[in-house]
Structure 1
Amino acid sequence: MATRNLESGIDPLDGWSLPAWTYDDPDFFAAECERVFATSWQVVCHLSDIPNKGDWHSLEYIGESVIVVRGDDDRIRAFTNVCRHRGSRLVDGSSGCAKKLVCPYHAWTYDLDGRLSGVPQKSDYPGLDTSRHGLVPVDIEIWHGFVFVRLRSEGPSVAEMMAPYEEQVAPYRFEELVALGRVTLRPRDVNWKNVADNYSDGLHIPVAHPGLTRLFGRSYGVEAETNVDRMWGNLITKPSANWSERLYQSLLPDVPHLPEASQKRWLYFKLWPNVAFDIYPDQIDFMQFLPVSPTETLIREISYVLPDARREMKASRYLNWRINRQVNAEDTVLISRVQQGMGSRSFSIGPLGESEVCLRNFCSKMRDIIPEARQEHRPPAGWNQK
């Protein structure tokens, strides 16, 4: 195992990728679920998705189901989606509306603030203190209208993570967004880190995404803060040879509330470890790379927009979808090739260039959180149970 030189402050693994075994190892996956995802913020929905009292949205990840609900007092709260009686799931599906949350197993009933308010045959439970058996709360943060949750209270808030970019985000009026369509779920047979690595990788843009290269030229850039990656590209004026891209270039209208520098800029943020915002002049998309197993990931995504009835804006949003559908297809091939290649006994770790700042930062954080990632070769099975 390579160890960090504390006296010099130099880590011999700086500039190297994580070892391939960490992308399919069950023990490493279990460590990630507990040490990375239980403490990380996950976006559930936008406030506009739960506008009325009783509206709720749910999110499932790492074996937990979390529900966020607007209470009778208009306050947004988050709870685990679990009845305190026998552990049954309370609600099914991704969204709904309810005056109370009633367990479908034995009809234990909870108010929208999580209090246990109804127990059938209550006399069967002598001494039951209902005040101690309400729904289990989960950390919640509302950042610019987006509702985030986390399972364990460790680390910075979303606002603290995004503080370096507050001025860049503010003009987009996130708080006023409304959903465009529904959440899309895209399963992928790859480790979640391969999706995250690809998202923050700027070097593959001119190689594997000809459409983005036609749109951005050489303007694509990347940078890394401690908990946030930022990527960006500025649309060029030279008409693309592709009709969708060419129409998008010509039809994208000015957005009055955006500064001049943002009128033709595509801006991307990835919040540690797996939540991404794609910010365009015409719409805002979020994506999550939710881990399912060591070699399965569920990509969860939806678009949000500001109300704008202009035909040019409607057309631009459609064209944006066409362009990014092609980009997603290209990325799916790329991450699948990497996952397959990592299964080769000939590959362990690879060098990271000095410009690959986001990947360098990501690998460094993972090694700090899970020191076993410093081992080039897979340790014996069961190491995470020791």
Structure 2
Amino acid sequence: MNHPQPMLTNLAPRYYADPDIFETERQAIFRRQWQMLGPVSRLARPGDYLAVDVAGWKLFALRGEDGVLRAFHNVCRHRGARLLQEGAGVCKTLRCPYHNWVYASDGSLKSAPWFGEDPGFAVSQWPLESAHLAQWRGLLFIAIDPESSLADQLGDLPAEIDEFPLETYTAVEEHRFDAHSNWKIYTDNFVEGYHIPGIHPGFYKVIDFPNFETVAMNGMVRMSSPQKDGSIYGGKWLWMWPNWTLSTFPGGMNTSRINPVSVDRTEIIYDFYFADTSEATEAERRRTIDTTCGIVREDFEICEHTHKNYQSGGYRPGPLSPRHEQSVAYFQAKIQAAVAG
């Protein structure tokens, strides 16, 4: 006898509103998983750096004088000051702005001026705390204490995206968004297309929604749909565990990192890449970027109100669509496993 499968239901609201669960996620997920930082081409020359926030941890990648790319915590070993301003830049001397401690590009402490004589102090004992870096197809990843290799974490992605010449695309623009909701609410929203008719009317018009397909795979979710005339999209949108995305379109792609800032605030960092960056295609690039950014913004209001309802105690978990929300169930199951730990 065939027994019906139990109905899938949404995560309990405490997973989104409880600061203790958020701290558990920081340690169990964001400390242990690789984080996609964007194009490695940003760090092409000695002195180039990228300083980032990863769920509250301050990290940076730096191209050393020897040409080697390394990663460190953006924290001076003396009294914890920030070394580099967040974002991309060029650093010829890695000097703490607080007390002028100077580090070499390999992370070793070179000097601690005016520190005074202390027989127990040696500069060799105070290098920067290091982090891990890895690269895949022109994208740079960072990790604090990775539980697996980047290749293992990527799961089915390499085969899924093998036909696209990612390495040949040029990074053109970065855009940052600030959403006042938990990072998982935004992610739940991203990995399903069920909300498209209600939230994205313009997007809905240029896709064949009845044939929109969502598939949960190993370490990723694939969403795809046939396109109609006037669409800027390639019809494939990918989300990868735990918090980054890659979407293709004719002649390029975009990536994003969904970064938890606090239990009720999320930063989303988008990068846009194109095969042709000539003046002749500037208008089309602009249309692609502006259209995508507009769709991203359309999600924020519904996510913010959903977060408030989860916080209020007025919501009990509802059913998940077996057709459209299997990807939500997949993501939420991974969250529960990580939190249970």
Residue in 1 that maps onto 2:234 = 265
1:101 Cα shift?
0.8
Residue in 2 that maps onto 1:205 = 196
Within the candidate set 135, 138, 143, 1:150 is matched to: 143
Question: What are the within-5 Å matches in structure 2 for residues 343-358 of structure 1?
Answer: 343-355=311-323, 356-358=325-327
Q: How many residues align?
A: 336
Within the candidate set 282, 285, 294, 1:314 is matched to: 282
Residue in 1 that maps onto 2:59 = 66
Residues 253-289 of structure 1 show CA distances to partners (whole Å, capped at 9, x for unaligned) of xxxxxxxxxxx62322211121112222233222222
Change (3 A) 1:64 1:11: farther
The alignment's C-alpha RMSD in Å is 2.4
Does the residue aligned with 1:301 lie in a helix, a strand or coil? strand
Mapped contact 1:58–1:93 kept (Cα < 8 A): yes
1:15 Cα shift?
1.3
Does the residue aligned with 2:300 lie in a helix, a strand or coil? helix
Note if 1:275 corresponds to 2:244: yes
Within the candidate set 82, 85, 89, 1:89 is matched to: 82
Does the residue aligned with 2:294 lie in a helix, a strand or coil? helix
Q: 1-side partners of 2:92 and 2:144: how far apart?
A: 25
Note if 1:57 corresponds to 2:25: no
Mapped contact 2:220–2:239 kept (Cα < 8 A): yes
Note if 1:293 corresponds to 2:262: yes
Within the candidate set 353, 362, 371, 2:331 is matched to: 362
In structure 1, the gaps of 5 or more residues are: 1-9, 238-245, 250-263, 373-386
Residue in 2 that maps onto 1:380 = none
Residue in 2 that maps onto 1:228 = 220
Does the residue aligned with 2:301 lie in a helix, a strand or coil? helix
Within the candidate set 18, 24, 34, 1:25 is matched to: 18
Mapped contact 1:283–1:317 kept (Cα < 8 A): no
Q: 2-side partners of 1:56 and 1:192: how far apart?
A: 26
Q: 2-side partners of 1:318 and 1:223: how far apart?
A: 30
Q: TM-score, normalised by structure 1?
A: 0.80
Mapped contact 1:274–1:289 kept (Cα < 8 A): yes
Residue in 2 that maps onto 1:128 = 121
1:128 Cα shift?
3.1
Note if 1:140 corresponds to 2:137: no
Does the residue aligned with 2:225 lie in a helix, a strand or coil? strand
Specify the code of the residue in structure 1 equivalent to 2:205.
R
Mapped contact 1:226–1:361 kept (Cα < 8 A): no
Residue in 2 that maps onto 1:5 = none
Within the candidate set 153, 156, 160, 2:152 is matched to: 160
Specify the code of the residue in structure 1 equivalent to 2:15.
T
Note if 1:36 corresponds to 2:29: yes
Within the candidate set 184, 190, 199, 2:181 is matched to: 190
Q: 2-side partners of 1:208 and 1:133: how far apart?
A: 52
Mapped contact 1:116–1:133 kept (Cα < 8 A): yes
Q: 2-side partners of 1:157 and 1:210: how far apart?
A: 40
Change (3 A) 1:93 1:308: closer
Q: Which range moved further: 339-348 or 269-278?
A: 339-348
Residue in 1 that maps onto 2:99 = 106
Q: Which range moved further: 193-202 or 293-302?
A: 293-302
Q: 1-side partners of 2:127 and 2:314: how far apart?
A: 53
Does the residue aligned with 1:184 lie in a helix, a strand or coil? strand
Residues 223-252 of structure 1 show CA distances to partners (whole Å, capped at 9, x for unaligned) of 112321111233224xxxxxxxx3x56xxx
Q: 2-side partners of 1:326 and 1:184: how far apart?
A: 11
